[in-house]
Structure 1
Amino acid sequence: MNTSAAFLFALATLVLLAPAKAQPKSQVLPLYPPGHPTLQGQNEKEILTPPNPKPGQYFNIKNVHNPIIEVFLPPQEKATGTMIIVAPGGGHRELGWPNEGTQIAKWLNERGVAAAVLKYRLAFTPGYKYTVEGEALQDTQRAFRLVRANAKAWGVDTKRVGILGFSAGGALAALVHMRNDTGKPDATDPIERESCYPNFVALVYAGWAPMEFKIPAGAGPAFLTSAGLDDAFHAKQTVEYYNLLFDAKVPAELHIYGHGGHGGAISERKGIPFGTWQVRFQEWLADLGYLKVGAP
């Protein structure tokens, strides 16, 4: 190969690699191996709305039967050792994948935080008997276990693993927060031996059906936020959860905004709370020491 050809080959290689630097690479890991007893409808296809989303277009995912995490790792020079499981919302009927999932993961990566976007089974899937406190919670717990099982390979500190849940995903964050499950040491599956205890949780406009709340001793700190008058249902539930944490002496930070509707994540300014909650969240993570290397 002559010099010019070698240069062109090298340049082409750089061009191919450039997008990977600008946009974080991701890897998809199934939560369970094929044929696992918990899986149903494994051969059914997921449903996207709209069916063929264009690049950059928001879409929702329904009919989830093969739960996964999509893992985004920050550049090595930025990595803090902290990892957050991101649980999108959608009323347990669908998942807002980019705006409450992958977009959040990339935002976290920019701050040195690894992210695993959770695609969990949906309780209101027609023809299936999935439940919030059954399969959806099981998937959330499994995501924690899978993250900790891979922590060394991903440069993650197992004592710095939290969850950020939106709307229905916030309900799952609250449930895993209350379970305080440190693993099953006698499990034949080594993944199940890992802890699914969240070192910290963040609930963004979270909502849930009536259920029993009991905050365990030693529960991790929490960040809670919601719009106020324009999203009264979720605001009230957010305040109720804060009060439970306060009574249990669990450190918690609460932000209720005066206006702003339900939804929006960090991109839609019509949603809560006009694109500022993530600034408060970043400050909270920094206050706890999760945005620098080393345990808080």
Structure 2
Amino acid sequence: MRPASLAALPLFALLLMTHPLPAAPAAPIPLWPGEVPGEKGSIGEEKDTSGPKSNQVQGKSVIRLGNVSKPTLTVYRPAKDKDTGASVIVCPGGGYSILAYDLEGSEVCEWLNSIGVTGVLLKYRVPKRTGLEKHTAALQDAQRAVGVVRARAGEWGLDPKRIGILGFSAGGHLAAAACNNHDKRTYEPVDEADKQSCRPDFAVLIYPAYLTVKEQGDKVAPELPVTTNTPPTFLAMTQDDGVRVESALFYYLALKNAKVPAELHLYPTGGHGYGLRPSQHAVTTWPQRAAEWMRTRGLLTADK
């Protein structure tokens, strides 16, 4: 029997041969090897809190994950022929109450794969723990995540000097907190991963929340002590966002004054909580702008 010619192959098969698909995400990895710091008892079953009447985004439902007490990392790898060696830890938003797990998580990792970047989806602890600041438990998880990715960079084929962090809304605040609190971990080290630097190499903040304190003249929040060692940062926001756009402006100014390389994109409309689902608003182009920023900074150049 003669082998089939290329002309006889289905179009989909030809496309797979010329444009390999990203690998399916690996199974979630427990973030902590044993007990999670500070966790005491059950907070209830982890579940999707969305219901039939929950708001949709661009006609699609959103997974709103609640009661997260066992943080995980899920690694999304790009196709081998596109892999740049860069990686980004993705922090979904949700007001430190839930995680918009697909809208601001898995869908974002898939976009990162399309530009040759490994997406690492961080499922961090929510809701905020009683008696602690809103971000305390989540920041422990974010610091740990950066250390784990850096410790396993060789195993995963990643560049340990191109590990970024990307966050939306509360996840944007968490990403900023990780960028400005890397000198000392907020938990007792547990293994070799905690001997690695937990400083992200760059950050992408999309409609970030909680960056400033309105009652204090939009002073940058005390948990975000911007310094010259804060990583290069890309920000995007809209003027009609329910989170005051001034917060992004003042945070950008803090970065500028500290001589941190930063890029800020402001759009007139689009609101809040759109992820990267396409819309009629100009802000829907933020992924292209972010990719351009990463490219101009040399973050998307494959290792040789």
Asked if these proteins are the same fold (TM beyond 0.5), I'd say yes
**Aligned match for 2:228, one of 217, 220, 229:** 217
Do residues 261 (structure 1) and 280 (structure 2) align? no
- State how many pairs are aligned: 272
Whether the 8 Å CA contact 2:169–2:209 is kept in 1: the answer is yes
Tell me how far 1:206 sits from its aligned partner: 0.3
Q: 1:119 maps to which residue? A: 123
Tell me how far 1:244 sits from its aligned partner: 0.1
Do residues 290 (structure 1) and 299 (structure 2) align? yes
Partners of 1:78 and 1:70 in 2: how far apart? 19
* Local SS of the residue matching 1:116: strand
Q: 1:281 maps to which residue? A: 290
Do residues 180 (structure 1) and 174 (structure 2) align? no
* Local SS of the residue matching 1:143: helix
Question: Are the structure 2 counterparts of residues 231 and 26 from structure 1 closer, same or farther at C-alpha, using a change threshold of 3 Å?
Answer: same
Tell me the C-alpha RMSD between the 2 structures.
2.8
Partners of 1:198 and 1:112 in 2: how far apart? 18
Tell me how far 1:42 sits from its aligned partner: 5.5
Deviates more, 1:98-107 or 1:130-139: 130-139
**Aligned match for 2:111, one of 107, 111, 116:** 107
Residue-by-residue CA offset, 1:189-210 (whole Å, 9 max, x unaligned)? 2121111101101110001173
Residue-by-residue CA offset, 1:31-71 (whole Å, 9 max, x unaligned)? 11233443344584212133699xx8421101111111111
| Gapped regions of structure 1 (runs ≥ 5) | 1-13
Do residues 62 (structure 1) and 72 (structure 2) align? no
Identity of aligned residues (%): 36
Tell me how far 1:95 sits from its aligned partner: 0.7
Q: 1:98 maps to which residue? A: 102
Higher relative contact order (CA closer than 8 Å, sequence separation 6+): 2
| Gapped regions of structure 2 (runs ≥ 5) | 1-12, 55-59, 214-220
Partners of 1:63 and 1:187 in 2: how far apart? 25
Residue-by-residue CA offset, 1:147-184 (whole Å, 9 max, x unaligned)? 11111111111100010110000001111111133779
Do residues 248 (structure 1) and 273 (structure 2) align? no
Q: 2:170 maps to which residue? A: 168
Please tell me the residue identity of whatever aligns with 1:47.
K
Question: Are the structure 2 counterparts of residues 156 and 268 from structure 1 closer, same or farther at C-alpha, using a change threshold of 3 Å?
Answer: same
Please tell me the residue identity of whatever aligns with 2:195.
R
Do residues 227 (structure 1) and 231 (structure 2) align? no
Whether the 8 Å CA contact 1:121–1:130 is kept in 2: the answer is no
Whether the 8 Å CA contact 1:122–1:131 is kept in 2: the answer is no
Partners of 2:178 and 2:250 in 1: how far apart? 17
Please tell me the residue identity of whatever aligns with 2:286.
W
Q: TM-score, normalised by structure 1?
A: 0.83
Do residues 146 (structure 1) and 140 (structure 2) align? no
Partners of 1:234 and 1:81 in 2: how far apart? 35
Partners of 1:188 and 1:59 in 2: how far apart? 31
